[in-house]
Structure 1
Amino acid sequence: MPTMNLKGWMEHDGVRLSPVDVERMLGEGPEAIARCGGEFALVWDDCIARDTFGIMPGPVPPGTVYCSGREVARIAPEPEVCTLEEAIVAAVGLRSDEGVVAFSGGVDSGLVAHLAHLPCVTVGIGGSHDAGWAAKAARTMGLDLTTVSPTEDEVAEALARVVRVIPDPTNPVEASIATTLYFVAAWAEDHGHTRILAGQGADELFGGYARYLTSPDLATELERDFADLGRQGTRDQAVAALHGAYFSMPYLDIRVVRAARAIPAAERVRGGVRKYPLRVVAERHIPPEIARAEKKAMQYGSGIWRAMQRLARNNGYKKSVQGYLTEISRAQHDY
């Protein structure tokens, strides 16, 4: 049997594979795992494979199998065709044997949290929108929720670590998102979890951004934003790795992606309602006020962005968070 190192998890036709199952498949040759889904970086002998969308970080392109430095196969799972609702239920179910849910109280994380039956964590500085709304949503849904409320000093400490690992450390939006996720991952580590279920991908698949309401070419914009998810994933996983964890993405399951992309762009943003198909599914599982809720982006709703602005001002950057981030990045580099 080959010597094997599997990060993440694998499945075939909706059935989770044990390490023994994977070893058995590898004995048949690298092509045997071409139909496997999941979130994985698999190393054996002189070969490396990554899942279809590259959720799990690794040294080869997403959805490829490399042996002796050359591509020998493509990872292309073909699960049974199903409805969007069936796809989401299956995707969350495959990921719910362990972990926590990054919960904000919106439709994306709300549906995942309801289906996963796992502990939930939200980040919200005292008095922030997300702290209040997530607590209310969790009570309504009967969820086990912990709210992490970092101090300004803790935000500064997190920033110092985050800018060392994310691809674009001086970009205020990137740094603020990464810092918010940092506290989720830290909580997961403190409580013995390595997997964090998150709602990433839902906005790009279903049309969640406000700019989609006035887009002159919604289909093209959705495709472009979906293509950018790999870059975002690199950022998020780098932050999670600081705490020995990884973000798991049910909405980027091959079943969900396939079902979502089969829906015309005009049906994803419909009648002024963003993420229309997802909300329709969600209303069959969670309270309507949560399924229909409009939410702020995590960096704003959590209060992390305001904390970063205060830190910038206190450090002499009255109008430039970017200048403050540049200073931190240089200091970290020099260190």
Structure 2
Amino acid sequence: MQGAAPATVRQALDTRNPLIGTRGFAGTVDGALVRDVLGRYPLFSEAGTPSVFSADPTDLREPEAVPAGHRRTEEGDTRVWTLPNPDPYVAAERAIETVRAAIVDSVDDAGEETDGEVPVAFSGGIDSSILASKLDGPLYVGGFAESHDVEAARTAAGALDREVNVVEFSHDDLVRAVPELVRATGRTNAMDINIALPLYLVAERVAADGYDRLAVGQGADELFGGYAKVAKAPEDPRVDAETVRGATREVIASLPDQLERDVLALRAAGVEPVAPLLDDRVVETALRLPGELLVSGETRKVALREAADFLPDAVRERDKKAVQYGTLVSRELDRLARQAGFKRRMDDHVGQYIDSLCE
């Protein structure tokens, strides 16, 4: 069982409580495969044979993911857990106090588990800055030399009185890493590979420096209203919801697919992710936030920014680019595709280039 003791998982099964006080779990208990409601740990079984399973899909001939929130047996998949839909907080001050307590406690607990010596994937945004302010391990940022993330990480680290290790990417790194990521994740689409590449390359450096864990800020954008499409709901066609709160629940539902990719990429590089902002305490609190504490005007992640009052204002208020753009990985992979003859007028030219690297 990954992530939790079997007794805890049995309690979650008995009570149908999806947020029982873990950072996720997946594995076998009493002859069944189970995966927590947010899919924070990946789990696969051989197609048609649940008794043959692994956390690594490359161990299996025909891996079939166990859906998040489900129990899998020989009889098939059964949904056990769904995310609660609690009423929102009425008092903003109480909401922000609760968010602050949840994030501080969860990050502090992660630090105690590792004696504080867990490296942090640090982009200079509020999510990774919360981790950097509470954990003593070294900070790492990755990107091409002129990238936004490298510069943002350097300035934010300075504001926190920390130093940051820069993992500078090259075209050779991308060409080498793409087939490795495709094999590890089973994914070939350009968006997934663009997102996974920076994680993978930074994690390789962390592993080479002798660490086997890496603290990441995964989940904060989904839980706290960090996406532009959420802020623009209901006008943005990328979400169906009529409200910011409803749109936030839509993107939270995308977490199992995203986390499967990210965890597999990080493990392939040699580290185990530590994701304090996906702790059940943080999730439970975030689900109760009203729309105005998710997005207000041009400001996203309102409650998280207010709660993180232990950070310098310049860091708290900083906007962050998506990792594939902030590191320039998306731009440079596109450049490599065009140099290899895969022009933009072609259908999915970057995807075709990815396929060519894996041949």
Q: What is the aligned residue count?
A: 312
Give the aligned partner of residue 266 of structure 1. Answer: 292
* SS of corresponding position for 1:147: strand
Match of 1:313 among 334, 338, 349: 338
Q: 1:119 to 1:32 in 2, by over 3 A?
A: farther
**1:176 positional shift:** 0.9
Which sections of structure 1, spanning at least 5 residues, go unmatched?
1-5, 11-21
Give the aligned partner of residue 40 of structure 1. Answer: 25
Post-superposition Cα deviations, 1:313-334, rounded to whole Å, max 9, x if no partner, equal 21012326932432432552x5
Post-superposition Cα deviations, 1:211-252, rounded to whole Å, max 9, x if no partner, equal 333222222221111101111111111211212323332222
Looking at structure 1, the residues matched to 25 and 327 of structure 2 have their Cα atoms a distance apart, in angstroms, of: 30
> Conserved in 2, the CA contact under 8 Å of 1:31 and 1:73?
no
Aligned-partner residue type, residue 300 of structure 2: R
Aligned-partner residue type, residue 55 of structure 1: R
> Conserved in 2, the CA contact under 8 Å of 1:123 and 1:149?
yes
Looking at structure 2, the residues matched to 93 and 115 of structure 1 have their Cα atoms a distance apart, in angstroms, of: 7
Q: Which moved more, 1:243-252 or 1:321-330?
A: 321-330
Aligned pair 1:116/2:135, yes or no? yes
> Conserved in 1, the CA contact under 8 Å of 2:124 and 2:152?
yes
Give the aligned partner of residue 125 of structure 1. Answer: 144
Give the aligned partner of residue 210 of structure 2. Answer: 192
> Conserved in 2, the CA contact under 8 Å of 1:92 and 1:115?
yes
Give the aligned partner of residue 68 of structure 2. Answer: 62
Give the aligned partner of residue 322 of structure 2. Answer: 297
Give the aligned partner of residue 15 of structure 1. Answer: none
Q: 1:52 to 1:93 in 2, by over 3 A?
A: farther
Give the aligned partner of residue 195 of structure 2. Answer: 177
> Conserved in 2, the CA contact under 8 Å of 1:299 and 1:305?
yes
Looking at structure 2, the residues matched to 57 and 69 of structure 1 have their Cα atoms a distance apart, in angstroms, of: 21
Give the aligned partner of residue 245 of structure 1. Answer: 271
Q: Which moved more, 1:52-61 or 1:142-151?
A: 52-61
> Conserved in 2, the CA contact under 8 Å of 1:52 and 1:62?
yes
> Conserved in 1, the CA contact under 8 Å of 2:340 and 2:353?
no
**1:72 positional shift:** 9.8
Looking at structure 2, the residues matched to 110 and 212 of structure 1 have their Cα atoms a distance apart, in angstroms, of: 22
**1:49 positional shift:** 4.1
Q: 1:73 to 1:201 in 2, by over 3 A?
A: closer
* SS of corresponding position for 1:285: coil
Aligned-CA RMSD value: 3.2
Post-superposition Cα deviations, 1:17-50, rounded to whole Å, max 9, x if no partner, equal xxxxx47879999859974523333446745444
Looking at structure 2, the residues matched to 307 and 264 of structure 1 have their Cα atoms a distance apart, in angstroms, of: 39
Looking at structure 2, the residues matched to 71 and 331 of structure 1 have their Cα atoms a distance apart, in angstroms, of: 36
Give the aligned partner of residue 154 of structure 1. Answer: 173
Looking at structure 2, the residues matched to 268 and 30 of structure 1 have their Cα atoms a distance apart, in angstroms, of: 31
**1:116 positional shift:** 2.2
Looking at structure 1, the residues matched to 99 and 12 of structure 2 have their Cα atoms a distance apart, in angstroms, of: 33
Which sections of structure 2, spanning at least 5 residues, go unmatched?
45-65, 85-94, 235-241
Looking at structure 1, the residues matched to 129 and 347 of structure 2 have their Cα atoms a distance apart, in angstroms, of: 31
Post-superposition Cα deviations, 1:292-321, rounded to whole Å, max 9, x if no partner, equal 001211111112122212211210123269
Q: 1:104 to 1:74 in 2, by over 3 A?
A: same
**1:164 positional shift:** 2.9
Give the aligned partner of residue 103 of structure 1. Answer: 122
Give the aligned partner of residue 88 of structure 2. Answer: none
* SS of corresponding position for 1:242: helix
> Conserved in 1, the CA contact under 8 Å of 2:224 and 2:304?
yes
Give the aligned partner of residue 91 of structure 1. Answer: 106
Q: 1:228 to 1:71 in 2, by over 3 A?
A: closer
Looking at structure 2, the residues matched to 56 and 192 of structure 1 have their Cα atoms a distance apart, in angstroms, of: 23
Looking at structure 2, the residues matched to 222 and 28 of structure 1 have their Cα atoms a distance apart, in angstroms, of: 28
Q: 1:54 to 1:211 in 2, by over 3 A?
A: closer
Give the aligned partner of residue 233 of structure 2. Answer: 215
> Conserved in 1, the CA contact under 8 Å of 2:23 and 2:276?
no
What's the TM-score, normalizing by structure 1? Answer: 0.81
Q: Which moved more, 1:208-217 or 1:249-258?
A: 208-217
